[in-house]
A and B are shown apart, each in its own frame.
Chain A
Amino acid sequence: MLVLSRKEGEKIIIDDNIEVTVLESENGQVQLGIDAPKSIEIHREEVYRRIEEENIEAAEGIDIGKLADFGNEE
């Protein structure tokens, strides 16, 4: 992992077109400003991981026969 130290107001540039600015840093909380093309998707890590976990859980095998019957009863 690349580790860089930045002060408030300083930036890093990723791949020519993504700028991350440290806006504020206080009591262990860092506020970041991100300028990136709209095609770049940005998510808070925990939100993304939550979806990942749910997909993995959803992909576990199920009793398909039971599910097919369930649909027909409805």
Chain B
Amino acid sequence: MEIMTRDFGEIEINEEDIIEFPQAVPGFPEDKEFVLFPIGEDSPFIVLQSVNTAELAFITIEPGNYLKGYEFEISDELAKKLKIEKNEDLLVLSIATIKGEIENMTINLAAPVIINLKEKLGKQVILDKEDYPVKYRLFADTEKELVE
């Protein structure tokens, strides 16, 4: 099927690639279906595009590639909601906020998007951990402080 995207015009997707977000994401309660695709071959950025709303898309990255100390527990309830059997099926993404220069982008470590790729189920999880900021500057010039 074809869908309209915010940044890439019309694209062809397979229906089985649609990831369902049964609880949507905070701020956008109507959008429960998304697809993922990389921005380009070598780009670390992944687009999380709403299937039903062309204008709704998030730029995301895999925080684990940048922040070694970033970890959190998957609760039994979350495992149940996302039908998680093993952690290898999971993709963890952080939503990026980009204002002005790309170097100044921040990523949201307080509420990662967790996707079970096998079951095609996703959820943005609000971690109740005060040490993970909503705005973490990814490409800070200063020595990167590892969140622990």
Contacts and interface: CB of A to CB of B under 8 A. Distances in A.
Given A48-B26, A52-B27, A55-B26, A62 B40 contact: no
Nearest to A42: B128
B108 A54 contact: yes
Given A38-B76, A47-B128, A55 B95 contact: yes
A52 to B, nearest CB: 4
B4 interface: no
A3 B139 CA distance: 48
B64 interface: no
Interface residues of B, number: 36
Interface string A46-70: 0110111111111101101011101
B59 A50 contact: no
B45 A51 contact: no
Contacts of B111: 51, 54
Contacts, number: 86
B6 A58 contact: no
A28 interface: no
Nearest to A70: B102
Q: How extensive is the interface on chain A, given as a class?
A: 20 to 34
Interface string B1-40: 0000011100000000000000001111000000000011
Contacts of B7: 61-62, 64
A59 B40 contact: no
Most A Cβ at <10 Å: residue of B27, B42, B43? B27
A55 B77 contact: no
A71 to B, nearest CB: 3
Given A39-B77, A47-B126, A55 B27 contact: yes
Interface of A: 38-39, 41, 43, 47-48, 50-59, 61-62, 64, 66-68, 70-72, 74
